[in-house]
Amino acid sequence: MKKAPENLAAKIMLASIQIILIPVAVNKYFLKEAFQSWGLDENTGRALRGILSGLVLSPLLCVWFYKTLYREKLAELDSGNVIRGITRGVFLASLVLLPVIFVFRLAGIISNIEYVQPEQFWYGLAMILVLAGTEELFFRGILYKIIEARYSWPVAVVVTAVLFTAAHLTNDNFSEMSILSVVAGSVILGLLFTLGKSLWMPFAFHFTWNMTQVVFGLPVSGLSLFPGSALFKVSMTGPELLTGGDFGLENSLPVILMLLGISLITAIRIRNFPGNTA
């Protein structure tokens, strides 16, 4: 990637307008009115609008942004990396959360897991796809790449982790432990992006991370997202240091430690790759 222009703040602002604000405006002022006139129910309309604005329009604008600013294509969305990136991202997120849930069940921290009939599983699935996709497109696809071009990948990982955490400060039930939790989550996403040179792996990790907690009826970063999409009702007791409290399982110390461990291994792999320098 070519060196970004000196005024990084201006370029990031321009990218924010194109990749975030324009799709949001199209969603709110054009698609919403159009879909309402078609008689769609609220959730169906919201999901379809999110997909069109967040998973179609935003990536197209992102590709256009890099083509006009850097005269190059956004290789990180190359379709050749889709299967490998998604497979690895899903595996790594599952590797952290599912063993913790299993061990907590054996230890009695999770006292009961009860299957429930979801009201609208598809709705939560679609919205988590949109949320994970747009966040990764902006934080890794835009901010990371601009910062890395000017400085280095470690700086890009750290700065995007700080900004990603700042974006979650207003979430419900945010605590001191949540700072470490969100930073650890963002660091692994940045490292996966660095390792694979693709958005598909961090996107799949991010989606699986959030969707797993939705499926088990747990809070996601302090928010009770799409409760009608839960497949299970989980009863959890124990110290907040273990359970994560109202912020969610991602706030659990064992989960954070696992994230930091995987981050360390991933960082070592990146440093050992030929041509990768800090």
What pLDDT is stored for residue 278 in this prediction? 56
Residue ranges per structural domain of the chain: 81-272
> What are the φ and ψ backbone dihedral angles of 12, each rounded to 5 degrees?
-65, -40
Q: Which amino acid is at 93?
A: A
> What are the φ and ψ backbone dihedral angles of 174, each rounded to 5 degrees?
-70, 135
Q: What is the pTM for the complete model shown?
A: 0.92
Task: Please name the residue ranges forming H helices in 216-252.
Answer: 240-243
pLDDT along the chain (278 residues), means of 10: 60 84 91 81 89 93 81 76 93 96 94 91 94 94 89 95 94 92 96 93 97 94 90 92 93 96 94 66
